[in-house]
Amino acid sequence: MNINFHYAAIKVLAHQVGFSLPDSQLIAYASQYVDDAVAHKKMALDKDPGVTDIRYKNGEFDPICTAHKDLDYAKAVLDRRGRVHVYVCFHFIPSRKGTTNLTRRRVEKDGKIAREMVTVALNSWNEGESKENKQRALIKLGVALHSYADTWSHQGFSGYWDSGNNNISKLETGPIGQGTHELVSKFLSYAAPDIGHAEVGTLPDRSEAVWRCKPKKRSTEGENNCTEFIEASHTIMDLLAKTKKKAKPWNDIKAKLKKCFMNPWDGDGFKSSDKSEWSTQFPGLNFNYDAGNWFAGALKKKGGLLDLLGSISGLDPEDYNVCGGREYFYFHAAAWKQRQIILEKVADLIE
């Protein structure tokens, strides 16, 4: 899934069950930020940020990387530890169903482990008494909802280097039976690594896509993403409603969500002034997402010649002043905790 679900749909669903607009924004921002938190190098801070459960020691903050992009993705191909820590823990949580590694590594929609992460986060929100604990729980919920939603779009694939689940022999797009892309599928089959859905590109994440692929060691499966995304939305709303118990009817938003999924926003972020289908169907929600907001509120780069030389050489952590915003650090605390839990649950699964 992409920003249309992880941010926009999650914000709609959270607000529909009774979360306030600020709380819905917090949940949705954290959900989308899982795809944007690419920082993986230690940062030297001028002072302790004062947030527990983060990797901060001896003046250095070590962020939790939850996504790879561009060159970092290429590096991840050769790094098993990175693949497991990023893809398996946040985007392809295994179902653990079956008796073989092949089936147990595979993602299943509404997967038990991924659902448990959402339940744990909701329990944290219910139990939180202070404003800080409530805020941390909402961000934790957003992280968990990202992974849970991805069990629909990533079903059948795995986050490991896994030819049994991820190697594609045939790809069709558009109405099933039409638009067979033999050359494209053959090229991707040879060129893309057998990691996640690399061999079918971004098709599983696009809400409007209709496609089918035939893995060599799995049965043929067809996907109408809009149908899957609507099912995921309904399931998530029901799960959230068990906590809030103030949900408005699902049917009030179902048709609107479908219009948004079939006419997705194609930007990297949202501005309140954007004329997207989301703002048309849900005019009061103020869709506003910039991947740099939390970081900018938390840290400011010092700059200077020494810092520049250290950055270029890669030998020294870059220097930052702590600015006071805490959402960025709360996110990394939540991501670290989820990663620890998932790593424990999949420790016996091997590539």
Q: Tens of pLDDT along 44-68?
A: 999 999 999 999 999 999 999 999 8
Under DSSP, the state recorded for 205 is G
The Cα–Cα gap between 140 and 121 comes to 6
157, 265, 252, 255: which is closest to 207 by C-alpha? 265
Model-level pTM?
0.92
Q: What is the pLDDT of residue 302?
A: 87
- pLDDT tens digits for 285-298? 999 999 999 999 99
Count CB-CB contacts under 10 A for residue 79.
14
Residue 195: strand pairing partners: 161
Expressed as residue numbers, the domain containing 139 is: 3-345
Statement: residue 212 has pLDDT above 60: yes
- Contact between 28 and 2 under an 8 Å Cβ cutoff? The reply is no
In a domain, 243, yes or no: yes
Q: What percent of the chain has pLDDT over 90?
A: 69
In a domain, 7, yes or no: yes
Q: Which amino acid is at 280?
A: T
In a domain, 309, yes or no: yes
Contacts for 273 with CB less than 8 Å, ≥ 6 apart: none
Statement: residue 170 has pLDDT above 80: no
In a domain, 350, yes or no: no
In a domain, 41, yes or no: yes
Q: What is the pLDDT of residue 44?
A: 96
When mean pLDDT is compared across 34-43, 60-69, 191-200, 256-265, the lowest value belongs to 191-200
Number of structural domains the chain divides into: 1
pLDDT confidence band for 176 (50 / 70 / 90): very low
Q: Is 261 helix (H, G, I), strand (E, B) or coil?
A: helix
Q: What is the pLDDT of residue 338?
A: 98
In a domain, 351, yes or no: no
Residue 106: burial class (beta carbons within 10 Å; 0-12, 13-18, 19+): buried
Count CB-CB contacts under 10 A for residue 139.
27
In a domain, 110, yes or no: yes
In a domain, 59, yes or no: yes
Q: Is 241 helix (H, G, I), strand (E, B) or coil?
A: helix
When mean pLDDT is compared across 14-18, 73-77, 291-295, the lowest value belongs to 73-77
